[in-house]
Amino acid sequence: MLGVPALYSIGYGNVGSSIYYALGITAVYALGATPIALMGAGVFFVFTAATYAEGAALFPEAGGSSSFARRAFNELWSFIAGWSLMLDYMVTMAISAVTVPFYLAYFFPLLKESNVASTLVGMGVMAFLMVLNIVGVRETSRFNIFWVILDLVTQALLVVLGIIFLLNFPKLLSYVKWGGSEDWPTLGSFIYGISISMIAYTGLESVCQMAEEAREPERMVPRSLMWAVVTVLIMYAFISVIALSAMTPAQLVNEWSNDPVAGIAHFLPDVHLAGLTISLSRIVAPWVALLAASILLIASNAGLLGISRLAFSLGQHQQLPAFMVRIHPKFRTPYIAIIAFSAAAILLLTPGLLAPGILLKLGDLYSFGAMLAFTIAHASIIALRVKAPDLPRPFAPWGNLRWRGSRIPVSAVLGMLGTFAVWLIVIATHPWGRTVGFIWLAGGIAIYIFYRRRRGLSLTLTVKAPAPAFVEEAGGHGR
């Protein structure tokens, strides 16, 4: 059973890993206002974490927002939330995998110079993880805790070194030019930057997916989520400010947008100590490259584990065909789901073979799926406060509004309005994310309707197959 350290490591390992690509993606649009954009997105992240903490404590089971929507609304809304989450998991898998070669470019410069080479390596990473998960090699909680501690120590070291040698407030203030400049965004670009900066908070669902395996989930899950939130916000605040002290927005966007943390390490100065010259950059840069590649590999693998777990939950609730979670007769893993979603993640990387900028496209797509799933999660918690006010709530966010005798959490209301507004911005201004996102959504709903109609099931009523019967239909025992 998992305690707070293990759950925290899962949460921070997934959310915290996004610093290695989200900083650069956000800077492309927010420029010198990148720290403000990230903290603005962070406000919605706090609201969303509070919603997930309440929901996971209420229903400690795999599914996250899909599970919340099932209780609050009906099975169709549950599927839409779950299908959107699947898109997010695939984007997380793809973006983490393709960022690995950008950091390894410290040792192999071709990976930074050629978008084809970096994309092919990213595809190779996904193929490797697919095989690994089919065979059934699994991470342990101690393994996750070890890497998260290593990552935290490294990021903290970068922050300390950055504060001592790089932090430059006059330089940061010099970027501010209202109306837009080469260092400061226009209002439109800044809003666009906030919408795409949501990629910074990937992996929030991961802790909820592990609720069934948590010890005292009603206490452990909210606590681990809150600790992960605090850590992530602190790290993003410091690292983004230090990055823009070390380099100009133009340098960050043009030279380091794919590996922004490597850029911080690159600009660390030489230190003269007792007659010796110590090159901090030569010491820290290779370490950051190796650690980032390792953490991103783990994050991509965690996304694959999460999507397999979510697929099993949707299949058990008759939202996906049972063959999708069919169990391999030898390895006892859901190999069809692993192959299908790994292949889909690889397919998402194919635009990178044609032109640079694959991270921006994936960021667009993540915002589409995540904001829709988060909006449904917030709406579900609000609806449950009205429909089932007497449910025991082990965790309830501070601050409530009285409405028709119900206590409505302010965080859920503000979170719903914020994430829905960002989703509308994505639809209006992110053409690639909008197009691929709606194709994914329409395809999923079509599959859902066809499967349910074929089985003579209602589109809205919950029909859960008993676990043993479902596993037998799927072809074996669950993972």
264/358 Cα distance (integer angstroms):
22
Predicted pLDDT of residue 421: 94
Predicted pLDDT of residue 9: 83
51/68 Cα distance (integer angstroms):
10
Q: Are 404 and 386 in contact (CB under 8 A)?
A: yes
Pick from 2-16, 176-190, 408-422: least confident: 2-16
Counting residues of the chain whose pLDDT is more than 90, the rounded percentage is 67
pLDDT for residue 180 is more than 90: no
Domain residue spans in the chain? 4-474
Tell me the pLDDT band of 477, cut-offs 50, 70 and 90.
very low
Which among 203-207, 403-407, 463-467 has the top mean pLDDT? Answer: 403-407
Q: What one-letter code names the amino acid at 23?
A: L
- Closest residue by Cα to residue 302 from 82, 79, 16: 16
- Residue 236: Cβ-neighbour burial (10 angstroms; 0-12, 13-18, 19+): buried
Q: What is the pLDDT of residues 280-312, one digit of tens each?
A: 999 999 999 999 999 999 899 888 988 888 898
258/269 Cα distance (integer angstroms):
22
Tell me the pLDDT band of 229, cut-offs 50, 70 and 90.
confident
- Map 309-324 to HEC letters: HHHHHHHHCCCCCHHH
Helices and strands, counts by H and E, the chain: 21, 4
Tokens at 467, concatenated? 């676990």
Residues 6+ apart with CB under 8 A from 58: 68, 71, 218, 384, 391, 393, 394
Predicted pLDDT of residue 476: 56
- Residue 467: Cβ-neighbour burial (10 angstroms; 0-12, 13-18, 19+): exposed
Average pLDDT of the segment spanning 448-464: 95
DSSP tag of 32: G
Tell me the pLDDT band of 465, cut-offs 50, 70 and 90.
confident
Predicted pLDDT of residue 145: 81
407/382 Cα distance (integer angstroms):
9
Q: Higher model confidence: residue 180 or residue 240?
A: 240
Q: What is the pLDDT of residues 393-402, one digit of tens each?
A: 999 898 999 8
Q: Are 375 and 416 in contact (CB under 8 A)?
A: yes
DSSP tag of 2: B
Predicted pLDDT of residue 479: 45
225/8 Cα distance (integer angstroms):
7
Look over the chain and give the mean of its residue pLDDT values, rounded to a whole number.
91
Q: What is the pLDDT of residues 318-362, one digit of tens each?
A: 999 988 888 888 888 889 999 999 999 999 999 999 999 999 999
Q: Where are the beta strands (DSSP E) in 179-308?
A: 270-273, 276-279
Q: Return phi, psi of residue 321, to 5°.
A: -60, 145
CATH number of 4-474: 1.20.1740.10
224/231 Cα distance (integer angstroms):
11
Q: State the pTM of this model.
A: 0.92
Q: Return phi, psi of residue 466, to 5°.
A: -55, 140
Predicted pLDDT of residue 473: 59
114/470 Cα distance (integer angstroms):
47
Pairing outcome for strands 406-409 and 400-403: antiparallel
Tokens at 394, concatenated? 């082990």
User: What's the alpha-carbon Rg for the chain, to the nearest Å?
Assistant: 22
Q: What is the pLDDT of residues 99-111, one digit of tens each?
A: 999 999 999 999 9
Please report how many Cα atoms fall inside a 13 Å half-sphere around the Cα of residue 155, on the Cβ side: 26
Q: Are 58 and 384 in contact (CB under 8 A)?
A: yes
Q: Higher model confidence: residue 216 or residue 249?
A: 249
pLDDT for residue 478 is more than 60: no
User: C-alpha distances in angstroms, 409 versus 54, 386, 415?
Assistant: 10, 11, 10
| Helix (H) or strand (E) run with residue 434 in it | helix 431-454
Q: Where are the beta strands (DSSP E) in 429-479?
A: none
Q: Higher model confidence: residue 366 or residue 141?
A: 366
